[in-house]
C-alpha cells in the first residue's frame, strides 16, 4: 500500500475510533431493567455497563427515588448505583442522566412499577403439591419459527441427542391439560434463560443473560404468560435458577466488572465435586476451596458470591423473576457449590419479601448425615444455618434406584426405603423433603427397572404416598428408558406428539401403547387421589420393618389413615396376617384401595407379587 494512503487510512481509523469512544459513553445495559415500589428492602442496586461509563457522573431527579451511592469498580466500563425507593414513589420511567460537569452526555432508565396485589403473600409449593419436571427443549414444539434464531450460536439439530430440538414455552402451555390430567399441581422447568452457547445449549444451565428468556423458548412476556396461565389453573411454577455459574459466553465474560466477579485460577480448575468437605469438621481449607470455587464445567465459569456486588446481582435477579412473572417456587441448581453464606443471605432476603415462598435446593448428597447440614435450623457444629427449607431427597432417590431390583436382606430391597426413612430423626423438617425416583441428570426409572411396569408402579406408589413432596420426571409415564450414566441426551427424549409431523401422539390415549396407558392411568389415579388427601400431605408416618419381602407403612393424621403395602417378591403373592399392625389397625375396621376401589377387611390381606396396595382405612 502507498505510504500516504496508509497514513490517511490510519487517520480515518483513529477518528472513527475517537468518535466511537465519545458515542459509546452511554449505558448499553442497566440491570435490573425494572424494579418495584413497596419491597421490605427499599433499595435496588443497578449494574450499569457502557464503554467508559465510569467517567460520567450519574444523576436522578425522580420524586421518591434517590441515588444514595455510586460505586466505582476496577473496570471503568461499569458503575453500580444504589437507589433508594420510597413507598410513596409513583410508577413511571426513572431516568438516569450521565453527565460530564453540567452537561448530560447520555441517558438511561429503569421502569418503576407497582407490585401486584398480594405479591408478598404468594403461596409457595408445599406438601399439598406434586411436581412435574419438564425439560423445555424436549417436551413440545408449538412454534417452529423460533427453533433457530438468527445471530445465536446454536441452531436446530433434532438428530443430535445433545442438540437443540425446538421445544418451547408455548408447547408446554398448550399441554397443561395433560399435566393436570396426571394429577400434578406444580411444574418445574429446567432453566429457560438465554444460553447462547455454541453447543449443548438446550439444557439451559449455562446462562448467558440472567434477564432474558432464551428466544428459542419464547420471550420474557411468553414466560410471564405461561406462569399466568398456570396460576389461573392452580398450577404453581417453579423456576430453575443457577447461582453457582454462568455460561462461558455470558456477555460479561469479555469484560468483567472486577477480577473476582468469578473465581479464577491460573488454568482451568474444576471443582473436586466432594460436597462432604463443606460440612466436614476435619476438611482441609484447600479442599473446601476447590469444592466451592472450582468450576463446575469448562463452559461454566464459577460465580463468586463472596463478591458483594455479584451476590446482590444474583439476589435481585431472583426477586426480579419472582415479581415479574408471578413464580411460586425456585429450584436452585448445585446448591452446595457456591459460597454458603451468600446462599443463606439470599434465602433470608427472599423470606423477608415473600414469607411463604418456597425454595428447594439441589443438594446432591446421598447420605442423610451429610445432607442435613443444608436444611434450615439444623444445629450444625460450625453454627451455619442455611435457612433453606426444602431439600431434594437424594438419599431416597438413591434407594429407589435399587430397592425393587433386589431381594430382601439386612440392608437391601425394601429395607433401603425403610432405612432412609429411619434417618428422618436427623431432619427438623422431614415433610420438607422433595421425593423422586429420577430427574434430568439420572438414569430413567424404566432403565434401572429394566422396563418392568410393575416396578415403575411400585416406585410411583411410594413417591406419591411417602412423607414429603413428590416429583416426577416427564416421559416416565410413557416408560421412557435411557441410561443417564452413558448419555444425558438419552434421558432427555422428545415427548412423542410434541412435534409437528410426529407419527405418534402420546399426549392422547389412542397414541399410547397398552402398557403406557396402564402407567398413565395408574399415575393419574394416584396423584388425583393425593391431591385431596390431607393425610398424605401432612400426616405422620408409622412403618414396620419389611418381613417376607413385604413392607407396610402408614400415614396418619387425626382419625384418618392410609396404609401402603408393598410386596417386592418377583413371582409370589404374599398373604399377610394383619395382626402384626395391631398398634394402629385396632382403630380401623376396613379399607378401600385407592386406585382399584377394592374393599378389604383387615384380618389378612394378599398383596400380589411385585406390587403395591394403597388402602384408605375406615373405622
Please classify residue 151 by burial: count the beta carbons closer than 10 Å to its beta carbon, then call 0-12 exposed, 13-18 middle and 19+ buried.
exposed
Beta bridge partners of 55: none
For residue 170, the minimal CB distance to Ca ion (Å) is 8
Catalytic residue among 209, 222, 333, 393: 333
CA dist 106 and 97 (Å) reads 6
Q: If we measure between CA atoms, which residue out of 614, 576, 574 comes closest to residue 593?
A: 614
For residue 263, the minimal CB distance to Ca ion (Å) is 35
Q: If we measure between CA atoms, which residue out of 400, 522, 530, 398 comes closest to residue 459?
A: 400
List 32, 58, 108, 166, residue binding Ca ion (CB under 5 A): 166
CA dist 380 and 386 (Å) reads 10
Rounded to a whole number of angstroms, the distance between the first and last alpha carbons of the chain is 100
For residue 171, the minimal CB distance to Ca ion (Å) is 7
Question: Which of helix, strand or coil describes residue 575?
Answer: strand
Residue showing cell 429420577: 438
Residue 169 C-alpha from the chain's centroid: 16
Site for Ca ion, residues 88 to 147, rule: CB under 5 A: 141, 143, 146-147
138/293 with CB nearer Ca ion: 138
For residue 602, the minimal CB distance to Ca ion (Å) is 54
Which CA distances in Å does 610 have to 447, 518, 549?
Answer: 17, 15, 10
Question: Which of helix, strand or coil describes residue 197?
Answer: coil
For residue 165, the minimal CB distance to Ca ion (Å) is 9
Catalytic residue among 147, 222, 362, 481: 362
The CB density around residue 537, as the number of other CB atoms within 10 Å, is: 20
For residue 173, the minimal CB distance to Ca ion (Å) is 12
DSSP string spanning 137-187?
GGT--S-GGGSS-TT-S--B-TTSTTSB----HHHHHTTHHHHHHTT--EE
CA dist 431 and 208 (Å) reads 36
Angle between helices 308-325 and 340-353 (to 10 degrees): 40
List 129, 168, 477, 494, residue binding Ca ion (CB under 5 A): 168
Query: Is 333 a known active-site residue?
Result: yes
How many chain residues interact with Ca ion (CB under 5 A)? 6
Query: Is 229 a known active-site residue?
Result: no
Counting contacts by CB under 5 A, is residue 475 touching Ca ion?
A: no
168/549 with CB nearer Ca ion: 168
Q: Which residues bind Ca ion (CB under 5 A)?
A: 141, 143, 146-147, 166, 168
User: Which sequence positions are flagged as catalytic?
Assistant: 333, 362
Amino acid at each position: 500500500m502507498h505510504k500516504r494512503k496508509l497514513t490517511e487510512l490510519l487517520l480515518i481509523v483513529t477518528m472513527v475510533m475517537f468518535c466511537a469512544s465519545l458515542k459509546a459513553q452511554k449505558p448499553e445495559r442497566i440491570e435490573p431493567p425494572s424494579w418495584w415500589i413497596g419491597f421490605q428492602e427499599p433499595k435496588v442496586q443497578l449494574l450499569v455497563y457502557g464503554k467508559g461509563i465510569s467517567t460520567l457522573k450519574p444523576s436522578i431527579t425522580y420524586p421518591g427515588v434517590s441515588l444514595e451511592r455510586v460505586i466505582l469498580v476496577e473496570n471503568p466500563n461499569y458503575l453500580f448505583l444504589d437507589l433508594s425507593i420510597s413507598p410513596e414513589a409513583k410508577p413511571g420511567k426513572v431516568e438516569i442522566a450521565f453527565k460530564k460537569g453540567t452537561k448530560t452526555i447520555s441517558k438511561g432508565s429503569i421502569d418503576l412499577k407497582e407490585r401486584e396485589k398480594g405479591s408478598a403473600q404468594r403461596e409457595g409449593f408445599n406438601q399439598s403439591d406434586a411436581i412435574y419436571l419438564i425439560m423445555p427443549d424436549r417436551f413440545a414444539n408449538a412454534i417452529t419459527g423460533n427453533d433457530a434464531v438468527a445471530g445465536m450460536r446454536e441452531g436446530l439439530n433434532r438428530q443430535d441427542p445433545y442438540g437443540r430440538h425446538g421445544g418451547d414455552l408455548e408447547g408446554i402451555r398448550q399441554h397443561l391439560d395433560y399435566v393436570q390430567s396426571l394429577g400434578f399441581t406444580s411444574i418445574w422447568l429446567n432453566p429457560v434463560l438465554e444460553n447462547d452457547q455454541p453447543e449443548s445449549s438446550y439444557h439451559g444451565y449455562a446462562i448467558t443473560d440472567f434477564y432474558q428468556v432464551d428466544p428459542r423458548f419464547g420471550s420474557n412476556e411468553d414466560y410471564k404468560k405461561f406462569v399466568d396461565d398456570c396460576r389461573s389453573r392452580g398450577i404453581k411454577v417453579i423456576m430453575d435458577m443457577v447461582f453457582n455459574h454462568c455460561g462461558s459466553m455470558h456477555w460479561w465474560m469479555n469484560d468483567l466488572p472486577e477480577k473476582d466477579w468469578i473465581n479464577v485460577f491460573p488454568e482451568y480448575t474444576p471443582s473436586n465435586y466432594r460436597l462432604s468437605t463443606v460440612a466436614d469438621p476435619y476438611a482441609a481449607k484447600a479442599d473446601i476451596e476447590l469444592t466451592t470455587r472450582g468450576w463446575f464445567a469448562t463452559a461454566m465459569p464459577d460465580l463468586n458470591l463472596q463478591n458483594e456486588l455479584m451476590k446482590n446481582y444474583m439476589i435481585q435477579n431472583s426477586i426480579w423473576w419472582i415479581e415479574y412473572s408471578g413464580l411460586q417456587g425456585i429450584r436452585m441448581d448445585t446448591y452446595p457449590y457456591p459460597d454458603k453464606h451468600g446462599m443463606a443471605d439470599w434465602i433470608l432476603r427472599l423470606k423477608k419479601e415473600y414469607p411463604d415462598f418456597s425454595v428447594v435446593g439441589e443438594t446432591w448428597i446421598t447420605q442423610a448425615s451429610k445432607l442435613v447440614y443444608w436444611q434450615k435450623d439444623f444445629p450444625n457444629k460450625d453454627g451455619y444455618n442455611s435457612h433453606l427449607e426444602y431439600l431434594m431427597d437424594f438419599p431416597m432417590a438413591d434407594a429407589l434406584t435399587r430397592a425393587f431390583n433386589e431381594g430382601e436382606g439386612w440392608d437391601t430391597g425394601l429395607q433401603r426405603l425403610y432405612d432412609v426413612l429411619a434417618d428422618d430423626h436427623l431432619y427438623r423438617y422431614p415433610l420438607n423433603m422433595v421425593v423422586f425416583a429420577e430427574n434430568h441428570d439420572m438414569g430413567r426409572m424404566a432403565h434401572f427397572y429394566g422396563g418392568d411396569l410393575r416396578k415403575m408402579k411400585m416406585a410411583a406408589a411410594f413417591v406419591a404416598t411417602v412423607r414429603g413432596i413428590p416429583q416426577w420426571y416427564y416421559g416416565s409415564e410413557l416408560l421412557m428408558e435411557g441410561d443417564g450414566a452413558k448419555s444425558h441426551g438419552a434421558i432427555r427424549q422428545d415427548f412423542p406428539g410434541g412435534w409437528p409431523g410426529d407419527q405418534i401422539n402420546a399426549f392422547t390415549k389412542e397414541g399410547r401403547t397398552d402398557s403406557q396407558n396402564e402407567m398413565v392411568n395408574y399415575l393419574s389415579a394416584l396423584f388425583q387421589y393425593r391431591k385431596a388427601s390431607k393425610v398424605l400431605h401432612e400426616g405422620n408416618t408409622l412403618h414396620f420393618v419389611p418381613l417376607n419381602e413385604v413392607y407396610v407403612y402408614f400415614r396418619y393424621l387425626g382419625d384418618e389413615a392410609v396404609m401402603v403395602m408393598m410386596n417386592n417378591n418377583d413371582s409370589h403373592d404374599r398373604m399377610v396376617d394383619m395382626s402384626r399392625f395391631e398398634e394402629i389397625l385396632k382403630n380401623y375396621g376396613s379399607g378401600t384401595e385407592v386406585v382399584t376401589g377394592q374393599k378389604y377387611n383387615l384380618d389378612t390381606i394378599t398383596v400380589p407379587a411385585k406390587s403395591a396396595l394403597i388402602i384408605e382405612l375406615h373405622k
